[in-house]
Amino acid sequence: MTREYPDNVAGPHEPPPRSFVDREGRTIDVEDYREDDFEALVGMYAASDPQDRAQGIPPTEESAIREWIEDLTAEECVNVLAWHGEEVVGHAMLVPDRDGPYELAIFVLREYQDAGIGTELMEALLGAGREAGVELVWLTVERWNSPAIALYRKVGFRSSDSGSFELEMAARLTSEDEERLD
């Protein structure tokens, strides 16, 4: 299937560093990934809630997490981290596919979600990608994941195919009041 990219440029967004206070009052610093950050990044994924896995990532075993991060932080990739003090609380990445465009993913620790960190992290990553000469970026997201989809739209992503796995829908045919009459 051919992927369609929007004509309009996303943003353009500013690359890292950026620093801001999130909606919970925490000071968050967004910076480019450096080699020294490897252990802190492993630490974030090792501490993450297994139910926050999506589409098979991150891996669960620490050894697999290490291997996975090594692949992601290869020279041709773009990685941006969100820090709260000494702790990595978010990570966004661009990894080139075989044809030239880059695949994007973002991960924010559960206790740091819904605080505006994802938006800053995404913008910083797209800024860093643009600076690194990345032209086209794609991602996949589970169709139920509307907070993520809203974030992707906000920073400039548009849906690029008809999607696959169906949405689930529900309808009520009797009201709760009616049921109580029985």
Partner 1 sequence: MKVLLGIGGSEDSFRALEETIERAREAGDELTIAVVDNPESTMAVEEVRDRVAEELSAVDFDVEIQVLEGHPGSQLLEHAEREGFDRIVLGGGETSPLGKVQLGSIAEFVLLNARTSVTLVR
Q: Which part of the chain contacts partner 1 (CB under 8 A), choosing from 26-34, 42-50, 97-105, 149-157?
A: 97-105
Asked if 140 interacts with partner 1 (CB under 8 A), we say yes
Task: Please give the Cα distance from 42 to 58 (Å, whole number).
Answer: 10
User: What is the token pair recorded at 114?
Assistant: 């819904």
Beta-bridge partner residues of 31: 81
Q: Which part of the chain contacts partner 1 (CB under 8 A), choosing from 20-28, 32-40, 52-60, 168-176?
A: 52-60
> For residue 100, with 0-12 CB atoms within 10 Å meaning exposed, 13-18 middle and 19 or more buried, which class applies?
exposed
Q: Provide the 10 A C-beta neighbour count for residue 132.
A: 14
CB of 167 to partner 1, least distance (A): 12
Of these, 50, 165, 176, 178, which contacts partner 1 (CB under 8 A)?
Answer: 165
Of these, 72, 80, 109, 122, which contacts partner 1 (CB under 8 A)?
Answer: 72
Asked if 103 interacts with partner 1 (CB under 8 A), we say yes
Identify the CA nearest to 130 among candidates 110, 104, 149, 165. 104
Asked if 105 interacts with partner 1 (CB under 8 A), we say yes
Asked if 180 interacts with partner 1 (CB under 8 A), we say no
Q: Which part of the chain contacts partner 1 (CB under 8 A), choosing from 3-11, 25-33, 64-72, 126-134?
A: 64-72
Contacts of 13 (CB under 8 A, 6+ apart): 122, 123, 124, 126, 127, 130, 155
> Are the CB atoms for 118 and 141 separated by under 8 Å?
no
Asked if 68 interacts with partner 1 (CB under 8 A), we say yes
Asked if 162 interacts with partner 1 (CB under 8 A), we say no
**Residues at the interface with partner 1 (CB under 8 A):** 1, 54-57, 59, 68, 71-72, 93, 95-98, 102-103, 105, 140, 164-166
